[in-house]
Amino acid sequence: MNTHIAPPPGKLTAKQFLEFIEDRPREERWQLIDGVPFLMMSPAMLPHQRISANLMLLLNAALASRRPEMFAIQEVALRVETHPDTRVIADVAVVDFEVEDVLYGTGFYLAAEVLSDSNTREHISRKREIYADAPGCLHVLIVSQREHAVEVWSRADDWNGRVYRSPDDLIDLPEFGFACRLADLYRGVSMK
């Protein structure tokens, strides 16, 4: 049985990181940000999974009719060319309908992070910046799993963020033909 093993000390290159995770159990969710590896909580809590699934399903319903060349999927390994020592996993991403045969994709149009207890604000903020550096990325969403709150960062708004907090707030992503109420993302999730 594999147990948690610390990564090599110091910053890692992408190659060193990939060599390290090659023998790690699949259920360990390692990510690399600016050469620093970190382990995410696995498996994600049920509210986290439900919110991610709700977002993916709502996006795919919109994409199927308005942008059939795109598709939303969960747990997507991504890399951005301008950040060579970063390998991350987005909770949901919009990618081309026909996907490449690669582990870490570079062509994505939206990346969403559902906040977990294992996320630090620093990691999430840095991932948002990295996603925004991808040439095709149009939106980055940061979704709370503890309260009704979604941050939407958009290229069209020069990457200025907008926060939605009311369950009746309308999240509109016109590039995807997507619009939903904030409450739709939390369907099936008990908010305390």
Query: What superfamily would CATH give domain 46-185?
Result: tt1808, chain A (3.90.1570.10)
pLDDT of residue 1: 41
Distance, CA of 165 to CA of 152 (rounded, Å)? 11
pLDDT of residue 36: 80
pLDDT of residue 48: 86
Q: Which DSSP symbol is given to 87?
A: B
Distance, CA of 61 to CA of 66 (rounded, Å)? 9
pLDDT of residue 43: 65
Q: What are the residues facing 141 on neighbouring strands?
A: 112, 152
pLDDT of residue 2: 46
pLDDT of residue 26: 75
Angle at 97 between CA 95 and CA 99, to 5 degrees: 75
Which element (helix H / strand E) includes 96?
A: strand 88-96
For residue 37, the Cα-to-chain-centroid distance in whole angstroms is 17
Residue 7 phi/psi, 5° resolution?
A: -70, 165
111 and 142 in contact (C-beta within 8 Å)? no
What residue segments make up the domains of the chain, in order of their start? 46-185
pLDDT of residue 62: 98
- Look up the pTM and report it: 0.89
Give the mean pLDDT per block of 10 residues along the chain (192 residues).
65 82 80 79 77 98 96 93 92 90 84 85 91 97 94 97 97 97 95 72
